[in-house]
Amino acid sequence: MPDIVFKANEKEYAVEVETGKMYTNNRKGLIAKVKYLNKEFGENWFFMMTNKKLTEKYLKLGQTCDKRTIINKINRIIRDAQVA
């Protein structure tokens, strides 16, 4: 399961908080997690990186933001849900 799941306009969104340890120590597990998130949430999930220096590596696997941009990302999801 993802670290955070929330609903906006009846759609579920998932946030996977990553420190980068899985990328280094368990890449197969990380790929399996990405496949699961794609299957369960489609495009409605993203990584939230605790270390912005690793953001580029995780961008290859899915949508990614860091602690500086997470608020804007969630606000945009909620704003778009209200318009729909």
If you average pLDDT over every residue of the chain, what do you get?
93
The size of the chain, in residues, is 84
Asked if residue 14 lies in contact with residue 41, where contact means CB atoms within 8 angstroms, the answer is yes
Sorted by where each begins, the domain ranges of the chain are: 4-83
Asked if residue 54 lies in contact with residue 18, where contact means CB atoms within 8 angstroms, the answer is yes
* Span 5-28, average pLDDT: 94
Residue 47: closest CA among 55, 71, 76, 39: 55
Q: CB atoms < 10 A from the CB of 34, how many?
A: 17
Dihedral angle, C-alpha 44, 50, 56, 59, nearest 10 °? -10
Percent of the chain with pLDDT strictly greater than 70: 99
Summarised one tens digit per residue, pLDDT across range 57-71 is 999 999 999 989 999
